[in-house]
């Protein structure tokens, strides 16, 4: 079904121009940024889709955003046909990428608590599926990058920070990169339902928290993950 949707989208959008995109009904989903692509939900020729566009950025911002867009396109190209990730539909031009719109809403505590073990288990299976293709998301700590639909399905979006190394890099880095993605999922268990953690997951959360403090480029703002993991191990 996903492959069929993708092929139909490619056929219908093959002649879609920037002029068509700019004249189509669309909603801006992202906040304005000088360095990141703008994200739109667009009613295109094949129905609702997502378009990431960097054309409106300044010169230096557009240079970086084009690089991020190309990085995302490469990662998603390796994930063609994987259910639960966006499928590339069309490259409008070097400044814009159209992809399929996944169903669902961003992860929230209320939805998570309804299925406190099922949701993370499904997310970990999806993470394993993309890792098998040689793609590592690297930003699963952000709730808005995880989608939940009404049927209990999960999805991952925003692969702009994804790492998709070649064969040698994959052989060298696959285990630590996989671990980073998995910690992005289990931290929600530690934060919201620590009783559902396994002892191994709890120890992993504590290791991740120690390493996170060494990352100087963005502030480390703990949100109860460490306390939850320690509570689990004490029990």
User: What's the pLDDT tens digit per position in 103-123?
Assistant: 999 999 999 999 999 999 999
Tokens of 170: 């994959």
Same domain, 81 and 197: no
Same domain, 126 and 228: yes
Is the predicted pLDDT of residue 96 greater than 60, yes or no?
yes
User: What's the pLDDT tens digit per position in 121-166?
Assistant: 999 999 999 999 999 999 999 999 999 998 889 999 999 999 999 9
Helix (H) or strand (E) holding 28: strand 26-28
User: What's the pLDDT tens digit per position in 42-89?
Assistant: 987 778 999 999 998 888 888 888 988 999 999 999 999 999 999 999
Same domain, 64 and 121: no
Looking at 38, 65, 100, the residue that finishes a domain is 100
Residue keyed to tokens 């790492």: 163
Looking at 100, 129, 158, the residue that finishes a domain is 100
Torsion sign, CA atoms 106, 112, 115, 118: positive
Same domain, 139 and 224: yes
CA distance 138 to 161: 6
Same domain, 145 and 65: no
Looking at 100, 121, 150, the residue that finishes a domain is 100
Same domain, 169 and 117: yes
CATH number of residue 120's parent domain: 1.10.510
Question: What whole-number percentage of the chain has pLDDT above 90?
Answer: 66
Q: Which of 220, 227, 221 is nearest to 205 (CA)?
A: 227
CB atoms within 10 A of CB 96: 22
Residues 6+ apart with CB under 8 A from 23: none
Same domain, 96 and 201: no
Q: Which of 42, 196, 59 is nearest to 118 (CA)?
A: 196
CA distance 231 to 194: 7
Helix, strand, coil: what percent of the chain each, to 5? 50, 15, 35
CB atoms within 10 A of CB 118: 12
Total domains present in the chain = 2
CA distance 95 to 160: 14
Same domain, 113 and 175: yes
CA distance 223 to 235: 20
Higher pLDDT, 33 or 216: 33
In the sheet where 146-148 sits, what is the strand order? 105-106, 146-148, 154-156
User: Which range marks the domain in which residue 196 is found?
Assistant: 105-234
Q: Confirm if 42 and 25 have CB atoms less than 8 A apart.
A: yes
> Could you tell me the pTM of the whole model?
0.87
Same domain, 88 and 119: no
CATH number of residue 9's parent domain: 3.30.200.20
To the nearest whole number, what is the mean pLDDT of the chain? 88
Q: In whole angstroms, how far apart are CA 74 and each of 68, 81, 100?
A: 10, 14, 15
């Amino acid at each position: 079904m996903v492959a069929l949707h993708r092929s139909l989208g490619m056929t219908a959008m093959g002649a879609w121009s920037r002029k068509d995109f700019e004249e189509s009904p669309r909603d801006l989903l992202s906040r304005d940024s000088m360095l990141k692509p703008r994200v739109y939900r667009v009613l295109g020729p094949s129905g609702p889709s997502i378009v990431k566009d960097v054309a409106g950025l300044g010169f230096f911002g557009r240079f970086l955003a084009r690089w991020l867009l190309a990085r995302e396109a490469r990662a998603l190209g390796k994930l063609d046909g994987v259910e639960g990730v966006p499928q590339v539909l069309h490259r409008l031009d070097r400044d814009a990428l159209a992809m399929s719109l996944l169903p669902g809403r961003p992860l929230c505590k209320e939805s998570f608590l309804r299925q406190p073990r099922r949701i993370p288990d499904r997310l970990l299976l999806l993470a394993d599926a993309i890792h098998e293709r040689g793609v590592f998301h690297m930003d699963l700590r952000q709730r808005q990058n995880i989608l939940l639909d009404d049927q209990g399905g999960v999805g991952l979006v925003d692969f702009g920070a994804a790492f998709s190394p070649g064969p040698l890099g994959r052989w060298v880095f696959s285990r630590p990169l996989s671990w980073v993605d998995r910690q992005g999922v289990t931290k929600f268990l530690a934060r919201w339902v620590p009783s559902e953690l396994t002892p191994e997951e709890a120890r992993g959360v504590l290791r991740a928290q120690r390493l996170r403090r060494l990352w100087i480029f963005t502030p480390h703002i703990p949100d109860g993950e460490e306390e939850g993991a320690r509570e689990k191990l004490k029990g």
